[in-house]
Amino acid sequence: MTQRIDYNNIAPLGMKAFGGVYSYVLQCGLPTELIELVFLRVSQINNCAYCLDMHTRDLIKKGVAIEKIALVQAWDEAGTLFNERERAALNWAESVTKVAETHVPYDDFQRAKDLFSEKELVDLTIAINLMNAYNRMAISFRSVPQAAIQ
């Protein structure tokens, strides 16, 4: 795969704005492992090779068990590997990412609202939407995954 456009160099202020949202998400109070799991799941749904590679590496660096990383896309069938908040966050990530299909049903909202405060749920949704935007940039312009460069 060859990168089409280096969007970081072409529109640095635009990408810096994305970075500001990313910085907010990292300091919003949600556990970083939860955020990274959600980032990975969104990237799986969108099939973003660049982001899949990056967030898998980030989770490994954080010491997350490889079994857990491997089963993110099947979180609903992974027994107790994921705690209730992680399961609700991953469900919410799927529902919001597939908004054209799901229309984010009330049951998905209620499941998330039962386990997250309103601020946490808004912050989680910001994280999900940010990752969808990053995925769309990386896919559109064919960002090359680190694994493909080595």
Single pTM value for the model: 0.94
129 in a structural domain = yes
Contact criterion met (CB below 8 Å) for 130 and 94: no
18 in a structural domain = no
Helices (H), 1-150: 7-10, 12-27, 32-46, 49-61, 66-70, 84-97, 99-102, 106-115, 118-140, 146-149
Q: Tell me: the pLDDT tens digits for 96-105?
A: 999 999 999 9
> Which domain range does residue 71 map to?
29-143
86 in a structural domain = yes
Residue 73's domain is classified under what CATH number?
1.20.1290.10
pLDDT reported for residue 148 = 66
> Into how many domains does the chain fold?
1
7 in a structural domain = no
66 in a structural domain = yes
Instruction: Say yes or no to pLDDT of 1 above 80.
Output: no
